Every structure is written in C-alpha cells, then in structure tokens.
Amino acid sequence: MSHGVRFVGKDPDGIAKAISVNDDGVLLAELSGSLLVGEVAENPTANTILGRMKSLESKIDTLDVVIDSILAKIIAAPSTEAKQDTIIGYVDGVEAVLANILAKIIASPATEAKQTALNALIGEVQTAPTANTLLARLKSLEDKLAETLTVQLSGSNTRKWATDTITFGAGAGAHNAGDVLSTDTGEILEFDTGLAAGASGIILSSLVTLDQAPFSGGAGYTLHLFTAAPTVIADDAAFVLVAAELSTYIGKIDISTMVTGTNASYALDIGHNLDFSLAAADTKLYGQLVCKGTDTTVNTKVLTINLGIAAL
C-alpha cells in the first residue's frame, strides 16, 4: 500500500494544510505547514526551511570571516597606513631641515647687518688697517715674524759669546754659600752683547772655565744679571739684591758644578733661555757671580764666563 499527500486548502492563518492518504484516499495524518517551515529554535529540524536558512546563515558567517581576512591584508587608505605615515614623517623632516637652512641664508650679504659688523672686525685691505682689527693683528704678527726670521737661534753665525773674567787676588780663600766671587776690591762683570743699544736678545747657554781643577768646596754658581751696573760687592761678601736695582735686574742663570779636565775645569749649561732688552744707550749686560758651595779660591787663577747670546 502506498501513501500520498493531498493539499486540502489553508487554515485560518493562511498556512497550507495537507493530509496523508493511502491509495484508497484514507486519511493517514494531517500535516501542518509549520512542520515544513521548522521550529523557531537555535537548531531547527534538519531540512526544514528554517533548518536550511540556519545552514545558509552559518555558511555566510564563514564567508564573512574569509572576506574580513582578505580585507585586512588590503591597505584601504594608503596615505594613513603605518609605513606610509613613516615615509611622510621622513619627508616632513627633510622639509624642516631645508626650512632651517633657508632661514640661515643671508638674502643680501652686502647689506646684511651682521656682514657689515664682520667687515668692521676684519678691517681694511690696506697697508695700515684700523688698529686692533683682524688684518691689523695679522700685519703685526707678520712684521714680528719678518724680524724674527732675520735671526736664527742656531748656528755659529747667530749666537755670539759675550765674555768677561775674574782674576782672583791675594785675598782669595774660603767662601760661604751665597758669597760673591770677585776680585779683592770687588768687580762688576761686564758682557758686551754685540747687539745694538736698546736691542732685545736672549741668553741661550753658558760656558764657565777655570785654569785649574775646580775650587775645593765648589758646588756650582748663580750669575745675577742687570742692564745697568749694580752696586759693587767685594769678594767673599754676601750677595744682596736691593730694591733700587730691581728695574734693571733681568734675572739669573744657574751654572752647574764644574767638571775636572787636564789642569783645568769647566761647566757647560744650555737652555737658559733668559730674554732681555738692553738699556736705550747701552750694549752691555752686567753681572755678579755668587757661589752655591764653599769655594776656596786660589790667588792669580782666572775664571772665565762666556754667555751665548742671540738677538731677538
């Protein structure tokens, strides 16, 4: 026996109604249209209209996820994308640097206030620029350099020996440290520099010789120097620098302990580098020799003092 379905109209809600009948038309069951639609539930009966809609909805949701994933990989607005923004930042930075450079460019150098002020500091291009300007200072240095180049501080043609001697007398004998070594009555050493009166020079070295072995008790010497003759101090008297002679005092040089030779002795010292300016009307330096030890000088012996001097 087979079964069939016949539609027999609609119910009051307008939903189709059907009956299940056999071949003889015997009613088997009344099927409500709601069974075709399915239940209003989270999971409607499979294959009903709502079941099919649920399946379609699920597939659409899956498709949305796929589309969102694709869209996420697409730069929707390139001008605001992170990397694009970084490039824009670089461009902005370059523009700022260029603007800063342009701000520092003097549009009209010849009339710009700072340029004018700079010109005043530099000075004029002429033989005698305004005093204290850069060009004036350079000219002064140039002149001094030209003068200096005429004097070479090395070589036999530039260094000259200025020499004087002390001949010890009958009163020669033991000295105390700090005593003057001189003749019996006292003698101011005089060194002819070979320079013009009022000129400037420098003492580079010294050579002291004695025509015998070093004096007993000797420990070197100090030579005090002046541009005018100081007060005479007798041999074996203490050296004193007085206030009235400070204006002519140029300083002192130290002479090392003498070295024994054959029937003679000497002391060679370099690097004194004591500069001076001679008195306006004088070409000499004046000195007093002071012992550092307890020298016992010998009658008639001669102590020679040589100063190596160069012009400045």
Q: Beta strand pairing status for 160-167 and 265-277?
A: unpaired
Same domain membership, residue 141 and residue 268: no
Same domain membership, residue 301 and residue 195: yes
In the chain, the number of structural domains is 3
Per-residue pLDDT band at 171 (split at 50, 70, 90): low
Same domain membership, residue 174 and residue 132: no
Highest mean pLDDT: which range of 69-83, 112-126, 260-274: 260-274
pLDDT digits (tens, 9 = 90+) for 224-271: 999 999 999 888 889 999 999 999 999 999 999 988 877 888 999 999
Domain stop point among 48, 72, 96: 72
Does 145 map to a domain?
yes
Same domain membership, residue 284 and residue 190: yes
Q: What is the mean pLDDT of the chain?
A: 76
Does 119 map to a domain?
yes
Domain stop point among 149, 176, 205: 149
pLDDT more than 90, % of the chain: 28
**pTM, 2 dp:** 0.51
Does 96 map to a domain?
no
Same domain membership, residue 172 and residue 249: yes
Assess contact for 227 and 285: CB atoms under 8 A.
Answer: yes
Same domain membership, residue 219 and residue 194: yes
What does the pLDDT read at residue 162? Answer: 93
- Residue written as token pair 């000088």: 297
Return the structure tokens found at 187: 């003698």
Same domain membership, residue 144 and residue 23: no
Structural domain range at position 136: 113-149
Same domain membership, residue 291 and residue 220: yes
Question: Which CATH number belongs to the domain containing residue 194 in this structure?
Answer: 2.60.120
Does 11 map to a domain?
yes
**CA-wise closest residue to 174 among 298, 53, 304:** 298
Alpha-carbon distance of 254 to 269, in angstroms, equals 8
Does 53 map to a domain?
yes
- Residue written as token pair 């099919």: 52
Alpha-carbon distance of 82 to 254, in angstroms, equals 80
pLDDT digits (tens, 9 = 90+) for 28-52: 444 444 444 556 677 777 766 666 6
